[in-house]
Amino acid sequence: MNKVMSSASLVLAVLLCATPTITHAYSSDSYMHEAAYKDSLNRAVGGKPEAPGYWVNNAQETLYNILKAERKVAEAKNVIMFLGDGWGVPTITLSRILKGQAVDNVTFGEEGQLHIDTFPNIGMSKTFCADAQIADSACSSTAYLRGVKANVGTLGVTSDVRLGNCNAQNVDTNRVSSILAWAQAAGKSTGIVTTTRITHASPAGTYAHSASREWESDVDVPLMYRDKCSDIAAQLILEEPGKNINVILGGGRQKFLPVDVTDSESTNGERKDRKNLVELWKSSKNSDVNATYIETLNQLLMVDATKTDYLLGLFSPDHMAYYHDQLGDQDPSLTDMTEKAIQILSKNPKGFFLFVEGGRIDQAHHNNQALRSIWEAVEFDRAIKKGDDMTSDDDTLIVVTADHSHAFSFAGYAARGSNITQIGIRLGNDLKPYSGMSYANGPGWQPFTSGGRHNIANDPIHNVTYQQVPLVPLVSETHGGEDVMIFSKGPHSHLLAGVHFQSYIPHAMGYASCLGSGLTFCSENQGNSANINGLSISAFLALITNLIVISIFMT
Ligand SMILES: [Zn+2]
């Protein structure tokens, strides 16, 4: 073993001398932690591994904390669902290392901690959709927000609606309500926050019913359907439950403005129906409530949460900038938005439901930009910590999960403390280096030369804009089909431990917070019709399924 270790160290030392380019820190351009980031190879060579007592103490402390965290028996007054779009396990692990190295500045990186590492309950979600082995963000949002599996590309409708079938979208019994609507029905405040367009598939899963996730504004709907099927932005502003959402923060301003209206960033709207949905949103609010529309970080920071009932923030014409590229006073971070949303929503004594999406983890992966995606995941974890810090485990259920994974892997035998963009210390059989982070497919593909595979030795691999070189050329890298994680804490969070269909998640959240028409903690404890005591499983299922089928479609 020691011999193997010392051989590896020798190879590493040789590489250190021979390839000066790999001593670069991340070429993070503007990232605030760049100065704090220490060269990874120095860590690997100079860092001292922990003494055995460290691991023992850590394990005993973890055991103590888990034992101490008794199962909460109260109703979850608040529910916060954090959704990492495309946040698969390799992405999570790499974000832990990057955070350890570049933010927390621990010795190596791998021993660092994400906030989600502190969550007591871990489960797995089976993400396939009604008609597909591997999910997209629309059918999956229908599962994790509404409790039924749907077809690829469809939002808020049952699997009786095929992609693009406008007529089927409008059949009442094909429309499924979301946990956000259940929360509104119970008098709770509601909010949605994302880094993508607010009309994108994941956040739209909370409020829209659409046969196609693409129908974000009127011009996105095929002409033949425009007067029959309302677009997603219009549904958000003009229909329930969207128009009742208290806090709406994200990007996608163009979807809300007419073509002849120019926004604060000199971009024209795209709506041809001439509807100015921002103005319609403002005028829809009665004079006895405080409603504010904002477009910048500075405006967000100036919002007085104690006096705000409704907040609509559209910070970008399209998706918001990647965390790495955000400008000082234009773009709030996901953490900024989460903080303001909780400040506003937590005023309601009945509690709230908040959906927060780290939406661009997925988009950077689609572009084979691994480092950029991992930074998005680091920021996603920071927003989770903010939400957790602002609420109590006694009355707030926090659920963190992903819609699907990506065709992304983390492989090779890099030394402890290696920079995550580091090429492996071992060469491929073609005697060319390979990256530890790699994709099965995507747009970063490079054609073979007479010498074979593209040689990445001199590529700018530490830059966030660098595209890893995948195996198969594709215009957009694909999702991955393996199960994704569910991290949870707070009242009844143990219900989410184990391996579950993705469509189980809102049922468990509804139970914990006494929302929806299924079995709830409150109904179970008040002896009403959903009480399972004294019922056989088959009798219970017959009863509860009937109740849900009757009411789940009441949107
Ligand atoms: Zn995607």
Distance in Å, CA 122 to ligand 1 centroid: 23
User: 8 falls in which pLDDT band (50, 70, 90)?
Assistant: very low
pLDDT for 7 equals 43
Distance in Å, CA 196 to ligand 1 centroid: 11
For the chain, count helices (H), then strands (E): 17, 18
User: 505 falls in which pLDDT band (50, 70, 90)?
Assistant: very high
Instruction: Among 66-70, 150-154, 431-435, name the one with the lowest average pLDDT.
Output: 66-70
User: 527 falls in which pLDDT band (50, 70, 90)?
Assistant: low
pLDDT for 49 equals 77
Distance in Å, CA 284 to ligand 1 centroid: 33
CA angle 518, 199, 385 (to 5 degrees): 70
Distance in Å, CA 359 to ligand 1 centroid: 9
Q: Identify the CA nearest to 550 among candidates 176, 211, 207, 240.
A: 176
Distance in Å, CA 367 to ligand 1 centroid: 10
Residue 12: is its pLDDT beyond 60?
no
Mean pLDDT of 128-139: 97
Distance in Å, CA 88 to ligand 1 centroid: 12
The residues with which 292 forms a beta bridge, in sequence order, are: 311
pLDDT for 34 equals 43
pLDDT for 550 equals 46
Distance in Å, CA 454 to ligand 1 centroid: 26
Q: Identify the CA nearest to 114 among candidates 357, 379, 335.
A: 379
CA dihedral 172, 176, 180, 182 (to 10 degrees): 80
439 HSE (CA, 13 A, CB side): 31
Distance in Å, CA 548 to ligand 1 centroid: 31
Distance in Å, CA 516 to ligand 1 centroid: 29
Residue 31: is its pLDDT beyond 90?
no
CA dihedral 464, 102, 193, 479 (to 10 degrees): 50
Mean pLDDT of 366-393: 98
The whole-angstrom separation of Cα 125 and Cα 501 is 6
- Mean pLDDT, the chain, as a whole number? 88
Residue 371: is its pLDDT beyond 90?
yes
pLDDT (tens digit, 9 = 90+) per residue, 61-118? 777 776 666 554 789 999 999 999 999 999 999 999 999 999 999 999 999 999 999 9
> For the purposes of burial, counting CB atoms within 10 Å of the CB of 186, is it exposed (0-12), middle (13-18) or buried (19 or more)?
middle
Distances (CA, A) of 39 to 9, 147, 163: 16, 46, 49
Distance in Å, CA 461 to ligand 1 centroid: 23
User: 21 falls in which pLDDT band (50, 70, 90)?
Assistant: very low
pLDDT for 546 equals 60
Q: Identify the CA nearest to 164 among candidates 84, 229, 99, 96.
A: 229
Residue 35: is its pLDDT beyond 50?
no
User: 16 falls in which pLDDT band (50, 70, 90)?
Assistant: very low
Per DSSP, the residues of 93-114 read HHHHHHHHHHTS--SSSTT---
pLDDT for 74 equals 86
Q: Dihedral sign for Cα 193, 199, 204, 208, please.
A: positive
Asked, as a colleague might, if the bond just before 222 is cis with ω within 30 of 0, I would say no
Distance in Å, CA 406 to ligand 1 centroid: 8
The three-state secondary structure class of 481 is coil
Q: What is the 3-state secondary structure (H, E, C) of 364-431?
A: HHHCCCHHHHHHHHHHHHHHHHHHHHCCCCCCEEEEEEECCEECEEECCCCCCCCCCCCEEEEECCCC
Is residue 241 within 8 Å of 353, Cβ to Cβ? no
pLDDT for 532 equals 57
42 HSE (CA, 13 A, CB side): 11
User: 503 falls in which pLDDT band (50, 70, 90)?
Assistant: very high
Residue 160: is its pLDDT beyond 70?
yes
pLDDT for 536 equals 60
- Considering the candidates 28, 95, 137, 488, report the single residue annotated as catalytic: 137
Query: Hunting for tokens 């009665």 — which residue is that?
Result: 286
Residue 407: is its pLDDT beyond 90?
yes
At position 105, the amino acid (one-letter code) is N
Mean pLDDT of 444-472: 94
pLDDT for 30 equals 37
pLDDT for 51 equals 81
pLDDT for 424 equals 64
Stated as kind and residue range, the H or E segment containing 194 is strand 189-197
Q: Which residue has the higher pLDDT, 339 or 55?
A: 339
Q: Identify the CA nearest to 436 among candidates 419, 453, 448, 452.
A: 419
At position 536, the amino acid (one-letter code) is S
pLDDT for 64 equals 72
pLDDT for 5 equals 40
The whole-angstrom separation of Cα 526 and Cα 524 is 6
Instruction: Among 31-45, 57-71, 218-232, 399-413, name the one with the lowest average pLDDT.
Output: 31-45
User: 18 falls in which pLDDT band (50, 70, 90)?
Assistant: very low
Distance in Å, CA 478 to ligand 1 centroid: 7
Instruction: Among 27-31, 158-162, 511-515, name the one with the lowest average pLDDT.
Output: 27-31
The whole-angstrom separation of Cα 26 and Cα 369 is 13
Distance in Å, CA 75 to ligand 1 centroid: 34
Report percent pLDDT > 70 for the chain: 84
Residue 392: is its pLDDT beyond 90?
yes
* Most confident region among 17-21, 26-30, 366-370 by mean pLDDT: 366-370
Q: Is 202 annotated as catalytic?
A: no
The three-state secondary structure class of 150 is coil
pLDDT (tens digit, 9 = 90+) per residue, 197-218? 999 999 999 999 999 999 999 9
Distance in Å, CA 374 to ligand 1 centroid: 15
Distance in Å, CA 319 to ligand 1 centroid: 13
User: 36 falls in which pLDDT band (50, 70, 90)?
Assistant: very low
Distance in Å, CA 170 to ligand 1 centroid: 26
Mean pLDDT of 233-257: 98
Mean pLDDT of 470-478: 97
